[in-house]
Chain A
Amino acid sequence: MKIVIIGASAAGISAAKTIKTSEPDTQIVIISKEDHIHSRCMLHKYLGHERDVKGISFVHENFFAENNITWLKNTTVVDLDTDKKFVRTNDNQAIYFDKLLIATGASYFIPPIPGLREAKNVYGFRDLKDAQLLDSECKTAKNAVVIGAGLVGMDAAVALLERGLKVTVIEMMNGIMGLQLDEKSSQAYQQLFEEHEAEFLLSDKVTSVDLDEAGKGKTIHLTSGKSVCADVIVIAAGVRPSFDFVERSGIATKNAILVGDDLQTNIKGIYAAGDVIGISGIWPNAMKQGKIAAINMLGEKLRYEDRYALKNTTNFYGLTTLSLGNINPKPEENFDVLIREDRNNYQKIVMKSGVIHGVIIQGNINSTGFWQYLIKNKIDVSGMDKDVFDLSYADFYKVDSNSGEYLYAI
Chain B
Amino acid sequence: MKRIIIDREKCDGCLNCNVACISAHEEGSNFYTVNLGSVDSETRNFIKFDAKTGYTPIFCRHCDEPECVLSCMSGAMEKDLVTGHVKYDESKCAACYMCVMNCPYGVLKPDNKTRTKVIKCDFCEEKPDGPSCVKACPKQAIEVKEISR
Contacts and interface: CB of A to CB of B under 8 A. Distances in A.
A346 to B, nearest CB: 16
Contact of B115 (A56, A315, A324): A315
Given A58-B75, A287-B70, A399-B8, A311 B101 contact: yes
Nearest to B70: A287
Interface of B: 3-6, 8, 46, 48, 50, 52-53, 56, 58, 61, 63-64, 67, 70-75, 81, 92, 94-98, 100-110, 114-115, 145, 147
Nearest to A374: B104
B129 to A, nearest CB: 20
Contact of A313 (B3, B92, B97): B97
A111 interface: no
Contacts, number: 136
Given A313-B97, A369-B104, A39 B74 contact: yes
A408 interface: yes
A337 to B, nearest CB: 21
Nearest to B145: A404
A392 B110 contact: no
A410 to B, nearest CB: 12
A42 B73 contact: yes
B94 A404 contact: no
Interface in A27-52: 39-42, 45
A385 to B, nearest CB: 7
B6 A399 contact: yes
A202 interface: no
A373 B101 CA distance: 10
Given A41-B94, A403-B64, A367 B8 contact: no
B106 A404 contact: no
A41 B73 contact: yes
Nearest to B76: A58
Nearest to B81: A21
B70 A373 contact: no
Contact of B104 (A10, A373, A403): A373
Contacts of B109: 365-367
